[in-house]
Chains A and B, each alone.
Chain A
Amino acid sequence: MSTRTLAVVSAGLSVPSSTRLLADRLADAAVDALRARDVDVRTEVVELRDHARDLADHLVTGFPNASLRPVLDTVAGADGLVAVTPIFSASYSGLFKTFVDVLDRDALDGTPVLLGATAGTARHQLALDHALRPLFAYLHATVVPTGVFAAAEDWGGTSISRELGARITRAGGELADLVAARAPAAADDPFADVPSFAALLHGEA
């Protein structure tokens, strides 16, 4: 059986960041759940901070540079995606949105996605459902029912943090179910389905 790829995108800005920490735990949960289903998987982690300038350049020039191109290809070609952003001013961060903005329009069409978000306070948690979910609905991604939000208090050693762990496990299992049920992603070739000129001429394309 072919190895599946799980792309893990973190828009955290500090090093280390709680956003990356959540992304890693979500990815681990999904990998464990996939292996439990006898699905071989490898993860590709993308730290958007490393590509902040590449993303700004892309906005200006209209093309991804040599550093950003493989990242976009990895995400577009992945069998599943874990995407985690800090919540800034009641929504996903600008860096996170910029990354989404430069993805090809159909890059995540049908891709199983697990969404996560972090913030200093739990008062931001509905941003997952009010901001992130509609964004990925626009992209035609298949978003798992459980989104995972982690505020500062979730990282403490209390019963709350045990609840975070349970949510992570449940969300990872949901992502694994979707990835395992899907045929492996095929590489996209923009030249593969160009309509013939006869079709173009007769308005069939």
Chain B
Amino acid sequence: MRGNRNLWLGGCLTLIFAGAALISFLWVPYDTTVLDIANKIKGPSGAHPLGTDHFGRDILSMIMVGARTSIAVALVAVGIGMGLGVPLGLTAAAKKGSFLDELIMRGNDLVFAFPSLLIAIMITAVFGASALNAIIAIGIFNIPVFARLTRSGALSLWTRDYVMAARVAGKGAARISAEHILPNVTNLLIVQGTIQFSLGILAEAGLSYVGLGAQPPTASWGRMLADSQTMISFAPHMALFPGLAILLTVLGLNLMGDGLRDLFDPKLRRAR
């Protein structure tokens, strides 16, 4: 029951923000590239449900457009992490104990010593700030996360008799990884994927906030918060709504992850 409730609530929240991002391509209440100084720093009203910022831009529209940046960055970063991490993890598990396994795992440890913020700092110092930096920095950090998860999941599967049966049927390590191992770690990967997605959204907001991520005029929740900071004493709505957007999106993804885990994990399912 609880698993389903998490899944529903999380799924709805996620859909709302993903939907807002998609709708923003077709329609937004106000054009976010047009400044309207006459209406700057207005609280919520009928015309502007979430108020306006210091350039008179509509905050609801900014949040809708900003959702695109957040979701795109986090999604691509998860894609990078899975795309590289999963094959590495599968390889390491298939060649357990070999030099290759050791190399992959030590490489993972090394990347873990570089939090994505440090990677972003290095990239920005050399190439300048952009949303692409955020994607690369978060994506690189995701690689060892997925590689480790895949490896540990795969290792326990390699001891199963059905893998032995496949070997008796003459199948090689690559084919077994593809046919028997990967399908059985997919659930783990989906759950971790939603968690990394939500962490990616938090990380993107943090990087944009300190100016290492998306640059103006690209709308971004982190940038909106950075802009609002000096005005927080007289325009708290400018800080409140983008922050809530981040909070609710991340909450939605985390709830969805929990719900999926309950759904997939037969141990928990039986207990329910």
| A, B bound | no
